[in-house]
Structure formats: C-alpha cells, structure tokens
Amino acid sequence: MRIRYRKERKRLMTQTKLSLWGRISAAAPDWTRSQYFALLVILSFLLLAYPFWPRNVLGLATLDIVLWGLLIASIHAVHHSRALFRIALFLAIPTFIADIIAFNNPTRDWLLISCLLDLSFIMFVTVVVIGNVMKQERVDTNKIFGAICGYILLGLLWALIYGALELTFPGSFNGTISTGHNDAPHFAAMDQFIYYSLVTLSTLGYGDITAATHSARSLSSTEALVGQLYMAILVARLIGLHIIESNRSSASE
C-alpha cells in the first residue's frame, strides 16, 4: 500500500508540475518559444557585457559560466534532430572539460586546445543554424532569430579563428593589447578579436586593429566576403519566401 501510495503521489506531483509549466509556456509570448531565443539572449549578453567584464579570477570564472551557457543554448538550438543533438553533445563535452582545464592551467598549449575545441563546436552550431534558416520555407520569428544568431555566430567563429592564429603565431595582428596567458581562460584579450571580427564581418574596417601577416590578411578578407554573401543571400531568400507566401495567399483568396 505504501509503495502504491508513493507512486500515485509522485505521478500527481509530476502532472502538477507539467500543468504549471504548460500554463507558463502558454502565457509567454510566442517569440520566447523560438528554439533560437535562448541562444540569441546568451550571444547578445556576451557581446554587450564581455568588454566590461573584470579580468580578475571571479570575473573570468563568471565569464566561463556564460560561455558554458552558450554551449547549452547551442545544444538546445539543435535539439530538433536527435542525430544533431548527439553530435552537439559529443563536441560540447570535451570542449567543456578543456575550458575547465585551461581556466585552472592557462598554459599556451591548453589555451590553444581549448580555443580549437570551442572553434569546432561553434563551427558545427553555426553550420546547423544557418542551414536550418536557409531551409525553412516560412518566414516567422524563429527564422528571423535564427538568422540573427547565425550572423553573430559567424563573428564569434572568426574571433576564435583569430585567437587560435594569435596563439600559434604571436604578432599576427597589429593594435591588439597582449594581456599575457594568465589573464584569460581561452586566449589573451578575446574581446579584441570579437571586436575585430565583427568589424571585419560588417566591412566597417576602422583600422585600429589590422592584420599583420599573410595568413591573418587572408582570413580577414575571407570573413569580409562571407559577411557580404551571407547578407545578400539571406535577404534574397527572405524576399523570395515572402513573395511566394504572398502569391499563395492571393491564390487561396
């Protein structure tokens, strides 16, 4: 009797929790239910808050928590496919472990390993997100959020590439401020590479940070080209889908 009572009580508690969560989800705006909403919030927070982050141990530990939140939000963004979800977990787990090791033992080797693993994971998520956005036939909030996430992820992806390049070949960029290996858990002054990457991706080109080597210049020009192609193809895709939807609506009427 006691075992049956406990099972029944547990079942009722589970149903109550699910019912409460269902009510909360139903009351939330539609745009918060997008599979890319959490990822967009984390990416926006990272871009806006990181330059003001303190470079002490507590600040860097908090930053790592935000970056791990980015990993989780990225996994959630691809959860619609079981195969993609498994690949995301396969890439995220060693990335998470390497980030912890690099934070506690910030040598050049571990910083580079951590950076490359972050790069592989972000590259996978970027390809999945952009591929899903381009594949969707309907222009809705989810597609718009995904397009924004894809653009920011491209900037973050190239920032990691520049960081790995600077760790492998120091002096690849002019105008960066080296803070030393012990000042950052991934690579020195990551915010400078995020800034340089977004400026290059949007082809602003302020010139305060410049590529100093052939490899850095080649990567920078490639990123600028990718940024322009992304915007051109995305806008053309959105306009094309909008025209198709308008024609379908007119035909149905």
pLDDT per residue as tens digits for the range 128-142? 888 888 887 777 888
Distances (CA, A) of 229 to 87, 164, 211: 27, 24, 21
pLDDT digit string (tens) for 158-173? 999 998 998 888 888 9
Tally of CB atoms within 10 A around 81:
12
Residue partners of 180: CB distance under 8 A and separation at least 6 = 188
Q: How far is CA 162 from CA 14, 110, 183, in A?
A: 48, 16, 18
Instruction: Note the pLDDT of residue 154.
Output: 94
Beta carbons of 79 and 35 less than 8 angstroms apart: yes
| Position 23 pLDDT exceeds 60 | no
Residue 55 — pLDDT band, cuts 50, 70, 90?
low
Please report the pLDDT score of residue 252 as a whole number. 66
Instruction: Enter the pTM of the model.
Output: 0.79
Q: Which helix (H) or strand (E) element contains residue 183? A: none
**Region of poorest pLDDT, from 11-15, 65-69, 247-251:** 11-15
Place of tokens 């909030």: 141
Please tell me the number of Cα atoms within 13 Å of 137 on its side-chain side.
4
Across the range 28-54, mean pLDDT stands at 76
Residue range 182-240, pLDDT digits in tens: 444 444 467 788 889 999 999 888 888 899 999 999 999 999 999 999 989 888 888 88
Torsions phi, psi for 29 (to 5 deg): -60, 155
Bridge partners of 207, per DSSP, are: none
Please report the pLDDT score of residue 141 as a whole number.
Answer: 83
The three-class DSSP label of residue 46 is: helix
What average pLDDT does range 73-89 have in this prediction?
A: 79
Residue 4 scores a pLDDT above 70: no
